[in-house]
């Protein structure tokens, strides 16, 4: 699996298939990126579970925080890890002890741990690194186009009017990633030199 640049179909198939997402490192502070992503994904109809031992007893968008993945107590489709690269491995190891196993490990924008990715893939999980599911969902649905972002997708179909809790179609024609090759290349060079 090439983790420097993902095919849109790979990201699309993940976002179209998962229903429940446990967010490790979710923050109740409303200026943190994890809060942004949690709120957006909840609004797009995902079943969100905030995981953060520091906030047990509180809720995020009405969902109670749990201390660890093991405390969720029901099957989870995807683990979205909002932690620095150096804190990824223990979370992946914990995820691999769950039964049934989650289907996807997603590491946030800026987070990458190739060894942890390999471990998860060896167990049959799909892995995404250094991406934000909110940005990817917004891009593939073109909702992010409101901000002038290059969604790298085209469609001649009428755009949906997003409402609360509505899932959007992600089935637009993709450019295949080629158009932001420059940005993907820069990200790759950064991982190689750091």
Per CB under 8 A, 158 contacts another protein: yes
Q: Which of 1, 115, 159, 166 forms a contact with another protein (CB under 8 A)?
A: 159
Per CB under 8 A, 138 contacts another protein: yes
Tokens 């469609």 map to which residue? 155
Per CB under 8 A, 5 contacts another protein: no
Q: Which two tokens stand for residue 145?
A: 């186009």
Minimum Å distance from CB 34 to another protein?
A: 10
Per CB under 8 A, 183 contacts another protein: yes
Reference 23, options 61, 163, 165; nearest CA is 61
Per CB under 8 A, 151 contacts another protein: yes
Residue 30 or 99 with smaller CB distance to another protein: 30
Find the helix or strand (DSSP H, E) in which 22 lies: strand 20-24
Per CB under 8 A, 185 contacts another protein: yes
Minimum Å distance from CB 33 to another protein?
A: 5
Q: Which of residues 95-124 bind another protein (CB under 8 A)?
A: 109-110
Tokens 């942004």 map to which residue? 36
Residue 64 or 150 with smaller CB distance to another protein: 150
Q: Is 138 within 8 Å of 168 (Cβ atoms)? A: no
Q: Dihedral through CA 15, CA 77, CA 105, CA 120, nearest 10?
A: -130
Residue 31 or 122 with smaller CB distance to another protein: 31
Reference 103, options 84, 120, 83; nearest CA is 120
Q: Is 178 within 8 Å of 149 (Cβ atoms)? A: no
Helix (H, G, I), strand (E, B) or coil at 182: helix
Rg, C-alpha atoms of the chain: 16
Per CB under 8 A, 180 contacts another protein: yes
Question: Footprint of another protein on this chain (CB under 8 A)?
Answer: 7-9, 12, 30-31, 33, 35-36, 39-40, 43, 109-110, 132, 135, 138, 142-152, 154-161, 164, 171, 173-176, 178-183, 185-187, 190
């Amino acid at each position: 699996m090439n983790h420097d640049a993902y095919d849109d179909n790979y990201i699309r198939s993940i976002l179209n298939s998962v229903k429940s997402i446990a967010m490790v490192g979710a923050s109740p502070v409303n200026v943190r990126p994890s809060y942004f992503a949690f709120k957006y994904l909840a609004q797009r109809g995902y079943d969100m579970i905030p995981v953060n031992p520091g906030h047990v007893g509180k809720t995020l968008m009405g969902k109670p925080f749990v201390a660890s993945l093991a405390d969720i107590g029901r099957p989870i489709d995807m683990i979205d890890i909002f932690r620095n690269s150096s804190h990824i491995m223990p979370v992946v190891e914990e995820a691999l002890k769950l039964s049934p196993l989650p289907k996807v490990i997603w590491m946030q924008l800026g987070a990458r741990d190739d060894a942890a990715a390999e471990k998860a893939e060896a167990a049959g999980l799909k892995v995404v690194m250094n991406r934000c599911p909110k940005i990817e969902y917004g891009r593939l649905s073109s909702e992010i186009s409101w901000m002038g972002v290059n969604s790298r997708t085209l469609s001649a179909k009428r755009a949906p009017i997003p409402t609360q809790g509505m899932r959007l179609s992600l089935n637009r024609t993709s450019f295949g990633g080629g158009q932001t090759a420059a940005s993907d290349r820069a990200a790759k060079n950064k991982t190689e030199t750091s």
